[in-house]
């Protein structure tokens, strides 16, 4: 079905730790993995799936590690990749960071976890909060309080344990919208997309039932309140705690939340909005002498909002020298390692326009290396504001003990993949 074995390799391809789940393949086959990768690299090729004879390797890279799943069957590739990413997540929860060092330092726990998260190639429990209840890093004596599998592992509610207690019951919600933008070199918007995410930090006792109300267009149409300002969500994805069939039926978002932090849902909208920060640029390259850059940045949102920590990255050829900058606001920095100029503006109120000019020298001998035309990228965040206009109308919290709980909501819009192509 999925993986015969899973390996964690270092950058040279040496196996740091591995687990043979099915016993139906020669574990030494993994030695072919790195040579194939090297060969592909030479050909400027790359693929997340490499084959050697009857062995298929599905891999992801995390920091200085390769996580590789090996199979000889027609495995569910989507499952394998998403499992590998889940593994990274679990290890990160346990060891703060997953890297060569943390694997070595914790090899016993790593083995225990690998034993628990997958069985015979079938992913099992991968919720790190639940795993932490019975796979801990202390040795246990069986007679005195050895852990038992929490009922949660096999429960229908497999993400929250019973008996959680807090003195003060609160829920913090972050509504975060990322704007992905792709603008052509001629200045037309090719793609504009909003990817939203609602994150929870749950500090609630017991087994609370939550219901979240948004100004969802479809919901309002069902309930006949078309007049209100609504948002049309193109596609919604939920944490597994949300009852999907219920949402499908009447658009109610109801759930028993996991304890602590989690991402409750994400959504996507394709509604074209005016790009929040618009960039016009002129990059003139005079061969053998200089590069001149003019960048105009305009904020196209209401003046009562302000974008913070705006960073505009403008690509420059890799062989430039002697940078000179002039800006109407903020500061500029030449980043040779990224071959870019970074223009930082701490605070950028709506409806404003700023200018930046840069001047670089070019060596008289032109480099033979071809350079791709990299886009200008922009980073920013605008607090207390959502581009889509999404609003949390209510968050109802019901627990059988009947406590009062306070929901808190925070809105923020930030740049996602925000690219403007250059000439």
Where in 296-355 is the site for another protein (CB under 8 A)? none
Q: Which of 93, 99, 112, 319 binds another protein (CB under 8 A)?
A: 112
* Interface positions, 46-75, toward another protein (CB under 8 A): 46-49, 51, 54, 56, 58-60, 71-75
Kindly write down the DSSP assignment for every residue of 240-288, as one continuous string. Answer: TTB-HHHHHHH--EEE-PPSEEEEEEEEEE------SEEEEEEEEEETT
* Interface positions, 355-374, toward another protein (CB under 8 A): 370-374
CA distances from 61 to 29, 85, 150, 359 (A): 19, 9, 32, 38
Distance between CA atoms of residues 273 and 387, nearest Å: 8
Q: Which of 154, 228, 303, 331 binds another protein (CB under 8 A)?
A: 154
Residue 422 per-residue DSSP state: -
Residue 31 per-residue DSSP state: G
CB of 271 to another protein, least distance (A): 13
Q: Which of 38, 64, 147, 409 binds another protein (CB under 8 A)?
A: 147
CB of 350 to another protein, least distance (A): 27
Cβ–Cβ < 8 Å for 404, 358: no
CB of 110 to another protein, least distance (A): 9
Sheet-wide strand order for 392-398 = 253-255, 209-214, 392-398
Distance between CA atoms of residues 176 and 201, nearest Å: 14
* Interface positions, 122-141, toward another protein (CB under 8 A): 122-127, 134, 137, 139-141
SS3 79: helix
Rg, Å, the chain Cα set: 26
Q: Based on CB atoms, which residue is closest to another protein, 135 or 356? A: 135
Distance between CA atoms of residues 144 and 245, nearest Å: 43
CB of 65 to another protein, least distance (A): 15
Can you name the residues that pair with 55 across neighbouring β-strands?
52
Rule CB under 8 A: is residue 145 a binding residue for another protein? no
Q: Please identify, among the stretches 188-196, 316-324, 326-334, 398-406, the one whose residues bind another protein according to the rule CB under 8 A.
A: 188-196
Q: Based on CB atoms, which residue is closest to another protein, 240 or 289? A: 240
Distance between CA atoms of residues 87 and 16, nearest Å: 15
The count of chain residues that interact with another protein, using the rule CB under 8 A, is: 99
Cβ–Cβ < 8 Å for 380, 317: no
Cβ–Cβ < 8 Å for 5, 25: yes
Q: Based on CB atoms, which residue is closest to another protein, 120 or 384? A: 120
* Interface positions, 21-40, toward another protein (CB under 8 A): 21-24
Q: Based on CB atoms, which residue is closest to another protein, 185 or 355? A: 185
Q: Which of 97, 107, 363, 367 binds another protein (CB under 8 A)?
A: 107
* Interface positions, 204-243, toward another protein (CB under 8 A): 234-240, 243
Cβ–Cβ < 8 Å for 275, 182: no
Q: How many residues does the chain have?
A: 423
Give the per-residue contact string, 388-417, with another protein (x = CB under 8 A; - = no): -----------------------------x
Q: Which of 148, 167, 227, 400 binds another protein (CB under 8 A)?
A: 148
Q: Please identify, among the stretches 112-120, 281-289, 294-302, 392-400, the one whose residues bind another protein according to the rule CB under 8 A.
A: 112-120
Cβ–Cβ < 8 Å for 169, 404: yes
Cβ–Cβ < 8 Å for 365, 321: no
Main-chain dihedrals φ then ψ at residue 404, nearest 5 degrees: -90, 135
Q: Based on CB atoms, which residue is closest to another protein, 54 or 328? A: 54
């Amino acid at each position: 079905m999925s993986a015969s074995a899973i390996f964690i390799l270092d950058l040279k391809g040496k196996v740091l730790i591995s687990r043979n789940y099915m016993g139906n393949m020669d574990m030494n086959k993994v030695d072919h993995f790195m040579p194939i990768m090297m060969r592909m690299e030479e050909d400027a090729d790359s693929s997340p799936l490499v084959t050697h004879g009857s062995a298929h390797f599905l891999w992801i890279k995390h920091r200085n590690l390769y996580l590789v799943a090996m199979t000889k069957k027609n495995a569910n590739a989507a499952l394998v990749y998403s499992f590998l990413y889940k593994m990274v997540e679990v290890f990160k929860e346990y060891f703060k960071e997953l890297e060569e060092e943390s694997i070595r330092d914790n090899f016993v726990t790593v083995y225990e976890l690998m034993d628990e998260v997958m069985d015979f190639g079938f992913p099992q429990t991968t919720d790190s909060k639940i795993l932490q209840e019975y796979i801990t890093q202390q040795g246990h004596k069986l007679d005195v309080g050895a852990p038992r599998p929490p009922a949660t592992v096999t429960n229908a509610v497999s993400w929250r344990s019973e008996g959680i207690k807090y003195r003060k019951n609160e829920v913090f919600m972050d509504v975060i919208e990322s704007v992905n933008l792709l603008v052509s070199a001629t200045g037309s918007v090719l793609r504009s997309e909003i990817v939203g995410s609602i994150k929870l930090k749950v500090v609630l006792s017991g087994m609370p039932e939550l219901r979240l109300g948004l100004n969802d267009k479809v919901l309002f149409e069902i309930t006949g309140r078309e007049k209100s300002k609504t948002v049309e969500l193109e596609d919604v994805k939920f944490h597994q705690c949300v009852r999907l069939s219920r949402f499908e039926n009447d658009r109610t978002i109801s759930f028993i939340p996991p304890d602590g932090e989690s991402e409750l849902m994400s959504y996507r909208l394709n509604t074209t909005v005016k790009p929040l920060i618009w960039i016009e640029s002129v990059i003139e390259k005079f061969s053998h002498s200089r590069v001149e850059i003019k960048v105009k940045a305009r904020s196209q949102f209401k003046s009562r909002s302000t974008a913070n920590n705006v960073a505009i990255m403008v690509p420059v050829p890799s062989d430039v020298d002697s940078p000179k900058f002039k800006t109407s606001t903020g500061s500029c920095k030449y980043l040779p390692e990224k071959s870019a100029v970074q223009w930082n503006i701490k605070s950028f109120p709506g409806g404003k326009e700023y200018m930046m000019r840069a001047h670089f020298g070019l060596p008289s001998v032109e480099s033979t290396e071809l350079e791709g035309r990299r886009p200008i990228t922009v980073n920013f965040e605008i607090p207390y504001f959502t581009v889509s206009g999404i609003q949390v109308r209510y968050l109802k919290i019901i627990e059988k003990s009947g406590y009062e709980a306070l929901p808190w909501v925070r809105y923020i819009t930030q740049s996602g993949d925000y690219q403007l192509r250059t000439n």
